[in-house]
Amino acid sequence: MSRFHDGAGFATAISLLVGTGGGYAINELLRTGQIIELEQEIARLKTEVQQRLEVGLPNDEEARAAIARSGRSIRMSECIPRPAVPDVTCTGIITTASGSFAGTKRPGVLSFARIDGAWTQIQ
């Protein structure tokens, strides 16, 4: 009877080792698949960012020239191309240059588009 228990213990130990090894192998395959998916997503996002940068972004001088007629100027902190339309949205500090609020500075968001080679503020 004791031999039966020794054999059962040995079989249990072998089953445990095989199960653990198989589980580890399956886990590694799943992890490898996830890593490949993440690498593909990173490559796609890099391509998308490069395409967005090809649109071009106005610099501070171009943005100031675009909104000069409105009596304002802007010092931009960030411009982001919009995916649905061919323009960019810029955030920054907008300064009122004329009128009763001359010299007033406030954070704001403006949209610009390149029309006939020059940046123009759009609504």
User: Tell me, what's the pLDDT at 54?
Assistant: 60
- Mean pLDDT by runs of 10 across the 123 residues of the chain is 59 72 76 82 80 68 80 82 78 83 85 83 78
Inter-residue contact 105 to 93 (CB < 8 Å): yes
Helix (H, G, I), strand (E, B) or coil at 57: coil
Give residue 50's pLDDT. Answer: 67
Measured CA to CA, the distance from residue 18 to residue 21 in angstroms comes to 5
* Total-model pTM: 0.47
Closest CA to 111 of 73, 84, 81: 81
What is the per-residue pLDDT for 63? 81
Pairwise CA distance, residues 67 & 94, whole Å: 10
Per-residue pLDDT, 7: 65
Beta strands in 35-87 (DSSP E): 72-81
d(CA 116, CA 109) in angstroms, rounded, equals: 23
